Amino acid sequence: MENAAVILIAAAGLAIISVLVALIMRKQGGMKDLLLQSQGDLNGRIAALAEFNMQSQNRLFAALAEQRGDVLKIIDEKLLAVTKSVGEGLQKSSAKTDETLAGLRERLAKIDAAQQKISSLSEQVVSLQEVLSNKQARGAFGEIQLNDLVTSILPPSVYTFQAMLSNGKKADCLLRLPNPPGAIVIDAKFPLESYYALRNAADEREKIEAARFFRASVAKHIKDISEKYIVAGETAESALMFLPSEAIYAELHANFVDVVEASYKAKVWIVSPTTLMATLNTVRAVLKDARMRKQAGVIQKEVGILLEDIARLDERVGNLDRHFKQACDDVEQIKTSSGKINRKIQKIEEVELEDDNTMRSLTSIAAND
Protein backbone atom coordinates (compact mmCIF):
# COMPACT_ATOMS: atom_id res chain seq x y z
CA MET A 1 0.00 0.00 0.00
CA GLU A 2 2.88 2.40 0.66
CA ASN A 3 4.31 1.72 -2.84
CA ALA A 4 0.95 2.54 -4.42
CA ALA A 5 0.80 5.84 -2.56
CA VAL A 6 4.31 6.73 -3.73
CA ILE A 7 3.38 5.90 -7.34
CA LEU A 8 0.24 8.02 -7.14
CA ILE A 9 2.22 10.93 -5.76
CA ALA A 10 4.78 10.54 -8.56
CA ALA A 11 2.01 10.46 -11.17
CA ALA A 12 0.49 13.60 -9.73
CA GLY A 13 3.91 15.29 -9.83
CA LEU A 14 4.39 14.31 -13.46
CA ALA A 15 0.94 15.63 -14.31
CA ILE A 16 1.79 18.96 -12.73
CA ILE A 17 5.06 19.05 -14.64
CA SER A 18 3.17 18.35 -17.88
CA VAL A 19 0.84 21.28 -17.22
CA LEU A 20 3.77 23.55 -16.49
CA VAL A 21 5.51 22.40 -19.64
CA ALA A 22 2.34 23.08 -21.64
CA LEU A 23 2.15 26.58 -20.25
CA ILE A 24 5.78 27.21 -21.08
CA MET A 25 5.27 25.89 -24.61
CA ARG A 26 2.49 28.37 -25.17
CA LYS A 27 4.87 31.12 -24.26
CA GLN A 28 7.74 29.73 -26.21
CA GLY A 29 6.56 28.45 -29.55
CA GLY A 30 10.02 27.50 -30.67
CA MET A 31 10.30 24.70 -28.26
CA LYS A 32 6.84 23.29 -28.95
CA ASP A 33 7.97 20.13 -30.66
CA LEU A 34 10.50 19.39 -27.95
CA LEU A 35 7.95 19.94 -25.28
CA LEU A 36 5.42 17.79 -27.10
CA GLN A 37 7.98 15.01 -27.29
CA SER A 38 8.79 15.41 -23.60
CA GLN A 39 5.11 15.38 -22.83
CA GLY A 40 4.72 12.14 -24.77
CA ASP A 41 7.60 10.58 -22.88
CA LEU A 42 6.09 11.70 -19.62
CA ASN A 43 2.73 10.27 -20.57
CA GLY A 44 4.41 6.95 -21.41
CA ARG A 45 6.21 6.91 -18.15
CA ILE A 46 3.02 7.75 -16.31
CA ALA A 47 1.29 4.84 -18.05
CA ALA A 48 4.22 2.53 -17.16
CA LEU A 49 4.08 3.73 -13.58
CA ALA A 50 0.32 3.13 -13.51
CA GLU A 51 0.83 -0.38 -14.89
CA PHE A 52 3.62 -1.03 -12.37
CA ASN A 53 1.32 0.24 -9.66
CA MET A 54 -1.40 -2.19 -10.75
CA GLN A 55 1.06 -5.11 -10.80
CA SER A 56 2.40 -4.13 -7.37
CA GLN A 57 -1.13 -3.93 -6.02
CA ASN A 58 -1.95 -7.35 -7.50
CA ARG A 59 1.21 -8.89 -5.99
CA LEU A 60 0.44 -7.18 -2.70
CA PHE A 61 -3.12 -8.47 -2.70
CA ALA A 62 -1.87 -11.97 -3.59
CA ALA A 63 0.68 -11.88 -0.75
CA LEU A 64 -1.98 -10.61 1.65
CA ALA A 65 -4.34 -13.37 0.52
CA GLU A 66 -1.61 -15.98 1.01
CA GLN A 67 -0.73 -14.57 4.42
CA ARG A 68 -4.41 -14.51 5.31
CA GLY A 69 -4.66 -18.18 4.39
CA ASP A 70 -1.61 -19.02 6.52
CA VAL A 71 -3.00 -17.01 9.41
CA LEU A 72 -6.39 -18.71 9.10
CA LYS A 73 -4.64 -22.11 9.00
CA ILE A 74 -2.62 -21.28 12.11
CA ILE A 75 -5.76 -20.00 13.84
CA ASP A 76 -7.59 -23.20 12.91
CA GLU A 77 -4.73 -25.31 14.29
CA LYS A 78 -4.63 -23.26 17.51
CA LEU A 79 -8.39 -23.51 17.86
CA LEU A 80 -8.21 -27.27 17.27
CA ALA A 81 -5.45 -27.64 19.89
CA VAL A 82 -7.38 -25.49 22.36
CA THR A 83 -10.55 -27.48 21.68
CA LYS A 84 -8.68 -30.75 22.18
CA SER A 85 -7.05 -29.49 25.38
CA VAL A 86 -10.37 -28.23 26.70
CA GLY A 87 -11.98 -31.57 25.82
CA GLU A 88 -9.25 -33.55 27.58
CA GLY A 89 -9.46 -31.23 30.57
CA LEU A 90 -13.23 -31.69 30.73
CA GLN A 91 -12.80 -35.46 30.40
CA LYS A 92 -10.19 -35.55 33.19
CA SER A 93 -12.33 -33.27 35.33
CA SER A 94 -15.30 -35.54 34.75
CA ALA A 95 -13.23 -38.61 35.67
CA LYS A 96 -11.94 -36.90 38.82
CA THR A 97 -15.45 -35.83 39.69
CA ASP A 98 -16.68 -39.41 39.27
CA GLU A 99 -13.79 -40.67 41.39
CA THR A 100 -14.49 -38.08 44.07
CA LEU A 101 -18.17 -38.99 44.10
CA ALA A 102 -17.27 -42.68 44.37
CA GLY A 103 -14.95 -41.88 47.27
CA LEU A 104 -17.68 -39.84 48.95
CA ARG A 105 -20.17 -42.69 48.52
CA GLU A 106 -17.63 -45.11 50.00
CA ARG A 107 -16.93 -42.82 52.94
CA LEU A 108 -20.64 -42.31 53.53
CA ALA A 109 -21.05 -46.09 53.56
CA LYS A 110 -18.21 -46.38 56.09
CA ILE A 111 -19.78 -43.62 58.18
CA ASP A 112 -23.10 -45.46 58.14
CA ALA A 113 -21.36 -48.68 59.20
CA ALA A 114 -19.48 -46.84 61.96
CA GLN A 115 -22.71 -45.26 63.13
CA GLN A 116 -24.31 -48.67 63.31
CA LYS A 117 -21.33 -49.96 65.29
CA ILE A 118 -21.54 -46.98 67.62
CA SER A 119 -25.24 -47.64 68.17
CA SER A 120 -24.47 -51.31 68.87
CA LEU A 121 -21.63 -50.32 71.20
CA SER A 122 -23.92 -47.92 73.04
CA GLU A 123 -26.37 -50.76 73.61
CA GLN A 124 -23.51 -52.97 74.83
CA VAL A 125 -22.32 -50.22 77.20
CA VAL A 126 -25.81 -49.89 78.61
CA SER A 127 -25.99 -53.63 79.11
CA LEU A 128 -22.50 -53.57 80.66
CA GLN A 129 -23.61 -50.90 83.10
CA GLU A 130 -26.59 -53.07 83.99
CA VAL A 131 -24.25 -56.00 84.56
CA LEU A 132 -21.85 -53.96 86.66
CA SER A 133 -24.67 -52.56 88.78
CA ASN A 134 -25.17 -56.07 90.14
CA LYS A 135 -22.48 -57.00 92.66
CA GLN A 136 -22.41 -60.70 91.78
CA ALA A 137 -22.43 -60.00 88.04
CA ARG A 138 -19.70 -57.43 88.56
CA GLY A 139 -17.56 -59.98 90.35
CA ALA A 140 -18.09 -62.47 87.52
CA PHE A 141 -17.10 -59.81 84.99
CA GLY A 142 -13.85 -59.11 86.86
CA GLU A 143 -13.12 -62.82 87.16
CA ILE A 144 -13.63 -63.34 83.41
CA GLN A 145 -11.25 -60.51 82.57
CA LEU A 146 -8.72 -61.83 85.09
CA ASN A 147 -9.09 -65.33 83.59
CA ASP A 148 -8.37 -64.02 80.09
CA LEU A 149 -5.23 -62.17 81.20
CA VAL A 150 -3.78 -65.01 83.27
CA THR A 151 -4.47 -67.80 80.76
CA SER A 152 -3.00 -65.79 77.88
CA ILE A 153 0.35 -65.22 79.64
CA LEU A 154 1.08 -68.02 82.14
CA PRO A 155 1.24 -71.82 81.69
CA PRO A 156 -1.68 -73.81 83.20
CA SER A 157 0.52 -75.47 85.80
CA VAL A 158 1.15 -72.17 87.56
CA TYR A 159 -2.37 -70.86 88.34
CA THR A 160 -5.62 -72.12 89.86
CA PHE A 161 -8.97 -70.31 89.77
CA GLN A 162 -11.35 -70.44 92.74
CA ALA A 163 -8.63 -72.03 94.86
CA MET A 164 -9.61 -72.98 98.44
CA LEU A 165 -7.17 -71.85 101.14
CA SER A 166 -6.55 -73.52 104.49
CA ASN A 167 -8.54 -70.79 106.29
CA GLY A 168 -11.66 -71.68 104.27
CA LYS A 169 -11.52 -68.64 102.01
CA LYS A 170 -11.84 -69.06 98.26
CA ALA A 171 -9.42 -67.04 96.13
CA ASP A 172 -10.39 -65.84 92.68
CA CYS A 173 -6.93 -66.81 91.38
CA LEU A 174 -3.91 -68.39 93.06
CA LEU A 175 -0.48 -68.14 91.42
CA ARG A 176 1.86 -70.91 92.56
CA LEU A 177 5.31 -69.31 92.53
CA PRO A 178 8.54 -70.70 93.98
CA ASN A 179 9.84 -69.37 97.29
CA PRO A 180 10.42 -66.55 97.48
CA PRO A 181 7.84 -65.05 97.20
CA GLY A 182 5.55 -68.13 97.26
CA ALA A 183 1.90 -68.44 96.24
CA ILE A 184 0.15 -65.12 95.52
CA VAL A 185 -3.63 -64.53 95.56
CA ILE A 186 -5.34 -62.21 93.05
CA ASP A 187 -8.75 -60.83 94.04
CA ALA A 188 -11.00 -59.66 91.18
CA LYS A 189 -13.59 -57.65 93.14
CA PHE A 190 -13.73 -53.85 93.07
CA PRO A 191 -15.92 -51.17 94.75
CA LEU A 192 -17.74 -49.89 91.68
CA GLU A 193 -20.80 -48.43 93.51
CA SER A 194 -18.66 -45.88 95.34
CA TYR A 195 -16.83 -44.98 92.14
CA TYR A 196 -20.13 -44.42 90.28
CA ALA A 197 -21.34 -42.23 93.14
CA LEU A 198 -18.12 -40.19 92.91
CA ARG A 199 -18.40 -39.82 89.15
CA ASN A 200 -22.10 -38.91 89.17
CA ALA A 201 -21.85 -36.34 91.96
CA ALA A 202 -23.67 -33.16 90.89
CA ASP A 203 -22.30 -30.53 93.29
CA GLU A 204 -19.35 -30.01 95.59
CA ARG A 205 -21.13 -31.40 98.64
CA GLU A 206 -22.06 -34.64 96.85
CA LYS A 207 -18.48 -34.94 95.57
CA ILE A 208 -17.10 -34.67 99.11
CA GLU A 209 -19.55 -37.29 100.42
CA ALA A 210 -18.87 -39.59 97.45
CA ALA A 211 -15.10 -39.23 97.88
CA ARG A 212 -15.42 -40.14 101.57
CA PHE A 213 -17.56 -43.18 100.70
CA PHE A 214 -15.14 -44.24 97.93
CA ARG A 215 -12.13 -43.92 100.26
CA ALA A 216 -13.82 -45.97 102.97
CA SER A 217 -14.98 -48.68 100.53
CA VAL A 218 -11.56 -49.17 98.99
CA ALA A 219 -9.83 -49.14 102.39
CA LYS A 220 -12.24 -51.80 103.68
CA HIS A 221 -11.66 -53.92 100.57
CA ILE A 222 -7.88 -53.67 101.06
CA LYS A 223 -8.27 -54.76 104.68
CA ASP A 224 -10.45 -57.73 103.72
CA ILE A 225 -7.92 -58.93 101.14
CA SER A 226 -5.07 -58.60 103.64
CA GLU A 227 -6.96 -60.62 106.28
CA LYS A 228 -8.40 -63.29 103.96
CA TYR A 229 -5.73 -63.97 101.36
CA ILE A 230 -2.41 -63.46 103.14
CA VAL A 231 -1.90 -66.68 105.11
CA ALA A 232 1.41 -67.23 106.88
CA GLY A 233 3.24 -70.34 105.71
CA GLU A 234 0.81 -70.90 102.83
CA THR A 235 0.83 -67.76 100.67
CA ALA A 236 3.24 -64.95 100.02
CA GLU A 237 3.42 -61.96 102.31
CA SER A 238 1.42 -59.89 99.81
CA ALA A 239 -1.66 -60.15 97.58
CA LEU A 240 -3.01 -58.42 94.45
CA MET A 241 -6.27 -56.47 94.16
CA PHE A 242 -7.34 -56.50 90.50
CA LEU A 243 -9.43 -53.58 89.20
CA PRO A 244 -10.80 -54.30 85.71
CA SER A 245 -10.98 -50.55 85.03
CA GLU A 246 -8.13 -48.20 84.19
CA ALA A 247 -10.34 -45.25 85.21
CA ILE A 248 -10.64 -46.42 88.84
CA TYR A 249 -6.92 -47.16 88.94
CA ALA A 250 -6.12 -43.66 87.66
CA GLU A 251 -8.61 -42.06 90.08
CA LEU A 252 -7.00 -43.83 93.04
CA HIS A 253 -3.45 -42.81 92.17
CA ALA A 254 -4.42 -39.26 91.21
CA ASN A 255 -6.78 -38.20 94.02
CA PHE A 256 -6.56 -40.86 96.76
CA VAL A 257 -2.86 -41.21 97.42
CA ASP A 258 -3.51 -42.00 101.11
CA VAL A 259 -5.53 -45.09 100.09
CA VAL A 260 -2.71 -46.26 97.83
CA GLU A 261 -0.19 -45.78 100.64
CA ALA A 262 -2.45 -47.76 102.97
CA SER A 263 -2.47 -50.62 100.43
CA TYR A 264 1.33 -50.55 100.43
CA LYS A 265 1.39 -50.87 104.23
CA ALA A 266 -1.11 -53.73 104.08
CA LYS A 267 1.01 -55.37 101.33
CA VAL A 268 -1.95 -55.41 98.96
CA TRP A 269 -0.82 -54.28 95.54
CA ILE A 270 -3.53 -52.61 93.41
CA VAL A 271 -3.27 -53.56 89.73
CA SER A 272 -5.19 -52.60 86.58
CA PRO A 273 -5.41 -54.70 83.39
CA THR A 274 -2.27 -52.99 82.04
CA THR A 275 -0.19 -53.26 85.21
CA LEU A 276 -1.39 -56.82 85.83
CA MET A 277 -0.20 -57.79 82.35
CA ALA A 278 3.24 -56.37 83.14
CA THR A 279 3.23 -58.19 86.50
CA LEU A 280 2.30 -61.50 84.89
CA ASN A 281 5.06 -61.13 82.33
CA THR A 282 7.49 -60.55 85.22
CA VAL A 283 6.12 -63.67 86.93
CA ARG A 284 6.70 -65.66 83.76
CA ALA A 285 10.32 -64.47 83.69
CA VAL A 286 10.71 -65.46 87.38
CA LEU A 287 9.30 -68.92 86.65
CA LYS A 288 11.69 -69.35 83.75
CA ASP A 289 14.61 -68.33 85.96
CA ALA A 290 13.48 -70.79 88.65
CA ARG A 291 13.30 -73.61 86.11
CA MET A 292 16.79 -72.69 84.94
CA ARG A 293 18.11 -72.79 88.50
CA LYS A 294 16.39 -76.14 89.05
CA GLN A 295 18.07 -77.58 85.99
CA ALA A 296 21.45 -76.01 86.81
CA GLY A 297 22.67 -79.18 88.64
CA VAL A 298 21.65 -81.40 85.76
CA ILE A 299 23.35 -79.05 83.32
CA GLN A 300 26.55 -79.01 85.39
CA LYS A 301 26.56 -82.82 85.59
CA GLU A 302 26.06 -83.14 81.85
CA VAL A 303 28.81 -80.58 81.26
CA GLY A 304 31.18 -82.63 83.46
CA ILE A 305 30.37 -85.80 81.49
CA LEU A 306 30.89 -83.87 78.29
CA LEU A 307 34.31 -82.68 79.49
CA GLU A 308 35.30 -86.28 80.28
CA ASP A 309 34.21 -87.36 76.79
CA ILE A 310 36.24 -84.51 75.30
CA ALA A 311 39.33 -85.61 77.30
CA ARG A 312 38.94 -89.20 76.04
CA LEU A 313 38.47 -87.92 72.51
CA ASP A 314 41.62 -85.84 72.80
CA GLU A 315 43.59 -88.86 74.05
CA ARG A 316 42.33 -91.00 71.19
CA VAL A 317 43.16 -88.30 68.67
CA GLY A 318 46.70 -88.21 70.07
CA ASN A 319 47.01 -91.99 69.71
CA LEU A 320 45.73 -91.83 66.17
CA ASP A 321 48.19 -89.05 65.39
CA ARG A 322 51.06 -91.19 66.68
CA HIS A 323 49.84 -94.10 64.57
CA PHE A 324 49.77 -91.88 61.53
CA LYS A 325 53.29 -90.65 62.22
CA GLN A 326 54.54 -94.24 62.65
CA ALA A 327 52.84 -95.23 59.39
CA CYS A 328 54.49 -92.27 57.64
CA ASP A 329 57.90 -93.33 58.99
CA ASP A 330 57.32 -96.91 57.78
CA VAL A 331 56.38 -95.64 54.33
CA GLU A 332 59.54 -93.53 54.18
CA GLN A 333 61.64 -96.54 55.17
CA ILE A 334 59.91 -98.64 52.51
CA LYS A 335 60.65 -95.92 49.95
CA THR A 336 64.34 -95.92 51.03
CA SER A 337 64.59 -99.73 50.68
CA SER A 338 62.85 -99.60 47.32
CA GLY A 339 65.28 -96.96 46.10
CA LYS A 340 68.29 -99.07 47.13
CA ILE A 341 66.85 -102.09 45.37
CA ASN A 342 66.29 -100.07 42.17
CA ARG A 343 69.85 -98.80 42.21
CA LYS A 344 71.25 -102.34 42.62
CA ILE A 345 69.12 -103.62 39.73
CA GLN A 346 70.46 -100.82 37.52
CA LYS A 347 74.05 -101.79 38.38
CA ILE A 348 73.32 -105.46 37.57
CA GLU A 349 71.83 -104.47 34.22
CA GLU A 350 74.90 -102.36 33.42
CA VAL A 351 77.22 -105.35 34.19
CA GLU A 352 75.16 -107.63 31.97
CA LEU A 353 75.36 -105.13 29.11
CA GLU A 354 79.14 -104.92 29.39
CA ASP A 355 79.41 -108.78 29.31
CA ASP A 356 77.25 -108.93 26.18
CA ASN A 357 79.39 -106.37 24.40
CA THR A 358 82.58 -108.27 25.31
CA MET A 359 81.20 -111.56 23.92
CA ARG A 360 80.16 -109.90 20.66
CA SER A 361 83.64 -108.43 20.24
CA LEU A 362 85.38 -111.82 20.72
CA THR A 363 83.02 -113.50 18.24
CA SER A 364 83.81 -110.89 15.59
CA ILE A 365 87.61 -111.32 15.98
CA ALA A 366 87.37 -115.11 15.68
CA ALA A 367 85.38 -114.80 12.46
CA ASN A 368 88.00 -112.53 10.92
CA ASP A 369 90.79 -114.98 11.67
Q: Give 161-212 pLDDT, tens digit per residue.
A: 988 888 888 888 999 888 877 889 999 887 777 788 888 888 888 888 988 9
Structural domain includes residue 319: no
pLDDT at 261: 92
114: containing domain: 100-133
pLDDT at 115: 74
Residues of the chain where predicted confidence (pLDDT) is lower than 70: 1-46, 48-50, 52-53, 56-57, 61, 71, 119-141, 294-296, 349-369
- Which of 298, 320, 350 is at the close of a domain? 298
Is residue 185 located within the same domain as residue 266? yes
Structural domain includes residue 52: no
| CATH code of 287's domain | 3.40.1350
pLDDT at 27: 54
pLDDT at 203: 86
Number of structural domains in the chain: 2
Is residue 179 located within the same domain as residue 208? yes
Dihedral angle sign, alpha carbons of residues 151, 152, 153, 156: positive
Is residue 225 located within the same domain as residue 163? yes
pLDDT at 1: 53
Is residue 123 located within the same domain as residue 203? no
Is residue 159 located within the same domain as residue 277? yes
pLDDT at 12: 61
Is residue 168 located within the same domain as residue 225? yes
Is residue 110 located within the same domain as residue 214? no
Structural domain includes residue 219: yes
Structural domain includes residue 323: no
Structural domain includes residue 50: no
Is residue 151 located within the same domain as residue 215? yes
